[in-house]
């Protein structure tokens, strides 16, 4: 099999101003990809785009709110206007939540997280799909290990990531004969600011991570695992041996996995 090259491939990434999206843009720039980057914070996003340009590739920064359908449509349209095609769409934008369900007095945060994590991926995919069909392109959804199993304090986040997984797993089957592949990524804990920015029961950002981040996977390592999986059109990538073993254990001893999850998240 010929090794896939990202050289001159048009890659569209949501949530590209920080974390996994930013690192993915930088590593793909090293591989010669042409980059259309979207995020809400245009100032930070433009810095990422400029860092990519410094690596010798074309990169465009477009302000994007994935919770807004029209913003997603405009983002995809501008990407195509700039580069003429789309070879890869990475639905990376997302927000998190960290509180027990019974602590909420308002359900607005649940609506917000579903709008960003699930509908944001759905919107961008809807508008990009006609262009991906023309290039036998690649679709990528970013879920989480929490999209495979429930975790206390993550009910809204887990629901949104299960929805993302269900959507893209179904879409993979529907697109079987179109030439468009679908790869699902299931990271564990990665060293980004997503947990610091996670919503608490009041709907506001926590401001700090509720976890001990020691030993957390670096964003560089996470992306270095993602890129080969995308290139090879893998169905899914479940990160870390511990994560894969946990999913196998869930099949044979689900109650034990529940107890481990409950013990791992101490209630304050």
Q: Which residues are catalytic?
A: 157
CA distances from 128 to 64, 87, 90 (A): 14, 10, 11
Helices (H) and strands (E) in the chain, counts: 9, 7
With a CB cutoff of 8 Å and minimum separation 6, the contacts of 198 are 95, 96, 97, 98, 157, 205, 206, 210
d(CA 195, CA 265): 14
Match 């401001």 to its residue by tokens. Answer: 207
Residues ≥6 apart with Cβ < 8 Å to 194: 19, 94, 95, 96
Which residues make Cβ contacts (< 8 Å) with residue 76, sequence separation at least 6?
A: 12, 86, 124, 127, 128, 131
The DSSP output letter for 206 is: -
Instruction: Report the relative pairing of strands 88-91 and 10-14 from DSSP bridges.
Output: parallel
Count Cβ atoms below 10 Å from residue 43 Cβ, excluding itself.
10
Alpha carbon 95 to its chain centroid, in Å, reads 10
142 vs 42, 44, 93, 147, 259, CA distance in Å?
22, 21, 8, 10, 26
């Amino acid at each position: 099999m010929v090794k896939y090259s990202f050289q001159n491939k048009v890659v569209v990434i949501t949530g590209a101003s920080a974390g996994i999206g930013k690192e993915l843009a930088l590593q793909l720039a090293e591989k010669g990809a042409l980059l259309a980057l979207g995020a809400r914070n245009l100032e930070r996003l433009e810095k990422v785009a400029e860092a990519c340009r410094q690596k010798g590739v074309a990169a465009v920064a477009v302000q994007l709110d994935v919770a807004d359908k029209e913003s997603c449509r405009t983002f995809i349209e501008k990407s195509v206007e700039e580069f003429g095609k789309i070879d890869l769409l990475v639905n990376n934008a997302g927000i998190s939540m960290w509180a027990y369900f019974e602590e909420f007095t308002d359900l607005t945060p649940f609506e917000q997280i579903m709008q960003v994590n699930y509908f944001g991926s759905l919107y961008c995919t809807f508008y990009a799909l006609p262009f991906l069909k023309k290039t036998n392109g690649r679709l990528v959804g970013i879920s989480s290990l929490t999209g495979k199993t429930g975790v206390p304090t993550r009910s809204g986040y887990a629901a949104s990531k299960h929805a993302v997984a269900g959507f893209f797993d179904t879409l993979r089957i529907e697109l079987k004969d179109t030439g468009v592949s679908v790869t699902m990524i299931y990271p564990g804990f990665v060293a980004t600011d997503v947990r610091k920015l996670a919503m608490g029961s009041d709907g506001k950002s926590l401001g700090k991570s509720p976890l001990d981040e020691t030993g957390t996977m670096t964003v560089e390592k996470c992306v270095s695992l993602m890129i080969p999986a995308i290139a090879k059109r893998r169905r899914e990538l479940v990160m870390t041996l511990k994560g894969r073993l946990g999913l196998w254990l869930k099949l044979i001893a689900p109650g034990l996995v529940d107890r481990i999850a409950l013990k791992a998240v101490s209630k304050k």
